[in-house]
């Protein structure tokens, strides 16, 4: 539950520390690109977020064991992939706008695409895997609604990025926020449904 809060706090702090930064127009990656004013402050926070997401993936696999391979293996594996790709994005930062695309910039774009697709699949597969369990049916529906929001927000974010639209940052944040709130709610539900200690 702490991981999404750390991510949100890092983005808000980064925008505050970066003169002229626009949450509406600019991507989150611009906060941590080479020589960005807030990069040294934000890198440990984003590393912590991704590390917590990976730890959550292993906890999820154990907590929902017995709900099928999709949920106990595939969804946690996707969360681990998201966390690892997020850490690698700190090693391969975004290029400055207008600069020629280098190897590091290309890797950054591939990692960003990997995170986007893996996030969508994790939410979708979780919703589908839980739909037949009476105890999880509501969360299954919640996951599928979250997936739909993420899918359309990501599509608009891609179009906005291709057109260099002034609302690219907004659509990216809607996509990320939909995923973060899903992680938060899933962790919250798991916390309340944890079996009592013997």
pLDDT tens profile 76-122: 999 999 999 999 999 998 887 666 778 888 899 899 999 999 999 99
Query: For the chain, what is the mean pLDDT?
Result: 89
**Residue 162 domain flag:** yes
Q: What's the pLDDT score for residue 198?
A: 38
Range of the domain at 120: 2-192
Tokens matching residue 34: 């080479």
**Residue 97 domain flag:** yes
pLDDT tens profile 149-195: 999 999 999 888 877 778 888 999 999 999 999 999 999 998 876 54
How far, in Å, CA of 175 to CA of 25, rounded? Answer: 14
**DSSP-assigned letter for residue 167:** T
Number of domains in the chain: 1
**Residue 198 domain flag:** no
How far, in Å, CA of 56 to CA of 162, rounded? Answer: 33
Q: What's the pLDDT score for residue 97?
A: 65
**Residue 197 domain flag:** no
3-state secondary structure of 65: coil
Residue located via tokens 């992939």: 81
Q: Of 120, 49, 117, 125, whose CA–CA distance to 83 is shortest?
A: 49
Tokens matching residue 9: 């706090």
How far, in Å, CA of 116 to CA of 118, rounded? Answer: 6
pLDDT tens profile 15-73: 999 999 999 989 899 999 888 899 999 999 999 999 999 999 999 988 887 777 777 78
């Amino acid at each position: 539950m702490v991981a999404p809060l750390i991510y949100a706090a890092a983005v808000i702090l980064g925008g505050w520390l970066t003169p002229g930064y626009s949450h509406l127009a600019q991507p989150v990656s611009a906060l941590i690109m080479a020589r960005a004013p807030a990069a040294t402050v934000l890198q440990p926070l984003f590393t912590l977020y991704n590390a917590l997401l990976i730890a959550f993936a292993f906890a999820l696999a154990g907590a929902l064991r017995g709900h099928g391979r999709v949920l106990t293996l595939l969804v946690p594996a996707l969360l681990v992939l998201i966390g690892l790709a997020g850490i690698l994005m700190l090693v391969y930062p975004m290029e400055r706008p207008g600069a020629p695309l280098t190897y590091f910039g290309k890797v950054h774009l591939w990692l960003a695409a990997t995170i986007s697709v893996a996030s969508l699949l994790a939410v979708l597969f979780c919703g589908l895997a839980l739909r037949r369990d009476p105890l999880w049916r509501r969360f299954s529906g919640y996951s599928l609604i979250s997936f739909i929001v993420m899918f359309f927000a990501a599509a608009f974010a891609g179009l906005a990025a291709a057109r260099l639209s002034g609302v690219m940052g907004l659509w990216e944040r809607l996509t990320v926020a939909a995923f973060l709130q899903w992680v938060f709610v899933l962790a919250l539900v798991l916390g309340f449904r944890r079996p009592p200690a013997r």
